[in-house]
Amino acid sequence: MTHGTKFGPFTPSTAPDGFEHEPDATAGYWSHRAKNTLPPPDFVGPYARHRPLPTPGVEDRKAWIIGGGIGGLAAAFYLVRDGHMPPANITVLEEMDVEGGSMDGAGNPDEGYLIRGGREMNWNYDTLWDMFQDVPAVELPEGYSVLDEYRLLNDNDPNYSKARLMRNQGEIIDFKDMGLTRSQQWEMIRLMLKRKEDLDDVTIEEYFSKGFLSSNFWALFRSMFAFKNCHSLLETKLYMHRFLDSVDGFGDLSALVFPKYNQYDTFIKPLADMLRQKGVRFQFDTRVQDLELSEADGRRTVTGIVCTVSGQPQRLEVGDTDLVFALTGSMTENTAYGDMDTVPQLTVGRHEPGEQSGWTLWRNLAEKSDVFGHPEKFYGDTDQSIWESATLTCKPSPLVDKLKTLSVNDPYSGRTVTGGIITFTDSNWLLNVTCNRQPHFPDQPEDTLVLWVYGLLMDQPGNHVSKTMPECTGREILSELCHHLGIEDQIDAVVANTKVRTALMPYITAQFMKRAAGDRPHVVPEGCTNLGLIGQFVETRNDIIFTMEASIRTARVGVYKLLNIPKQAPDISPTQYDIRNLIRGARALNSGKPFLGERLLHRLLDKTYYAHILPPLPEADNQRREAFEAEVDTLAAKGGTALKSLGSWIANVRKGFE
């Protein structure tokens, strides 16, 4: 039902029946037509920044948000900005004593800093930038936003790496060489052509050849996004579509943009501070175990929140018109910590997280109905979802000296350092190290650097230390790192000036576990009237996971649907359909060499308006005809006699353009 406003009876404040709050750009052909006022499903731009009218009665409704991570904070943000809900009516329930969830940043120079993970962003995280262009900046004056600050920084300090891949204790690999044969390139192309529905419960290693999985491309891809070969092929496909426009920046990481500080100080703190100032309530030390639901005629309504507050059991009453947003699962749940001389000790079993874990709420919901998915598919085998990170707090040492030789700028300059992770391709742990802009924490001393290390493979002994990474102390992990950097003979001097804090995370890539349709619940599960699910274990149309963007998207969709706001959360940026990105990606996968058929495109287009969409050819002008004829001969041999006259046909077309 829609409601007229003072703008007239045809200006609704709620969406009409059938309105799609989460449009799917792959669902069908879109075209302009009569009575079609909405833009394409993946449209992003200022026209999508409109502010909807308040939903009738929203001022009397309350919202309970379970989980104070980026998804929960985003739900509060969209309830206020687009939902017009009074901030004082919104309560964030958080298990820990600080907001942020998996996006943490803590510690000090004396005990050592700690960050369990980092965040890589690109230009097309449109929902993330939609939110942070309205969040006040951390350091710029009033009137500037986090987005303003972020872009000013990256526009003036471009990100790139000069040592993306290494081996043999310090040798830099040519990371522009993807190492893919023509047949291995076709493996990727075939995957991108496959329907999503055909990839249920298929793993990466079940599809790709061994040659593909040992290529430089796969080393770049899996280390950048943290894929194991046992993970979901479907998720890999979604990543390839999402980052198609970035493939030619995978090698030097020039496709990425990074913040000035750690993820907590850059994103979580300014967003949470803004919400508090507006009046949003935060309640910490609150663990939610279950939601009470009433069911009638296929409709499910949350009536109560079963939780423990400061160790005491409580039930929070939820009215019929109130809203609940709940985090399902957590990739950093049950993290075990260690330091220089201790080994992290896991408290969960391989197949069972226990009753007092962050998975309990989702498990209890799933027992009520299949519409809530199957959480056991994600937490059921920690051997496939576990990896470990280490945060290094470094004073000057041979490690810092070595870092300087691998960095784009001096590490103490405040500018880009390594430009992202350096991956040691011959590491049994698939070890990675990175140094982001320094200082990484606002209170960090001038002579201190913070480095971050992670290993993806947890079941093999190290190349230098004869233990698996989870069996190692921080000192031993530091020793293994020094080995791969070629400075193991200086380990004592490094240890003397380095503090190490480790984080072993059993579910850190649980969201990548192989899955099928129905394993992840929808943002608003079927029949739910006042419940939205948020986070990394929730189904979206075409987006990926393990990103801030994914969590924010689920929150945005949930708010729009539950309040029936006549506004859409656009599908992912349409860059995957841009012919320029397709051509650049094909050239990059072919290690920068012209792909088969590219010279034909040049001969056809290089005298036309569209010549600029093609990458420059590597040959001198006087050699291009010979190279073109050789390509035509190759295609003719592969495609039969019909292609033998293609060269003369293109020549005639070119004359027509002239």
DSSP string, 99-116: SBTT---EEETTTEEE-S
Name the β-bridge partners of 393. 450, 499
Q: Which of the following is catalytic: 239, 379, 454, 560?
A: 239
Q: Which long-range contacts (CB under 8 A, 24 or more apart) does 593-600 make?
A: 593/618, 594/618, 594/627, 594/631, 595/185, 596/182, 596/631, 596/634, 596/635, 597/631, 597/635, 598/631, 599/624, 599/627, 599/628, 599/631, 600/628, 600/631, 600/632, 600/635, 600/646, 600/650
Q: Are strands 531-534 and 323-327 parallel, antiparallel or unpaired?
A: parallel
CA distance 234 to 201: 8
Q: How many C-beta neighbours within 10 Å does residue 318 have?
A: 22
* Residue of 120, 333, 539, 598 marked catalytic: 120
**DSSP H or E run through 485:** helix 474-485
Q: Quote the radius of gyration of the chain (alpha carbons, Å).
A: 26
Strands (E), 138-227: 165-167, 171-172
Q: Is the peptide bond before 353 cis (omega within 30 degrees of 0)?
A: no
Give how far Cα 201 sits from Cα of 84, 238, 584, 611, Å. 41, 14, 31, 43
Q: Which residues contact 517 (CB under 8 A, 6 or more apart)?
A: 197, 200
239 is catalytic: yes
Q: Give how far Cα 133 sits from Cα of 16, 403, 591, Å.
A: 29, 34, 37
Contact 132, 263 (CB under 8 A): no
Q: Is 301 helix (H, G, I), strand (E, B) or coil?
A: strand
In whole angstroms, what is the distance from residue 304 CA to residue 293 CA? 7
Instruction: Give the catalytic positions in this structure.
Output: 120, 239
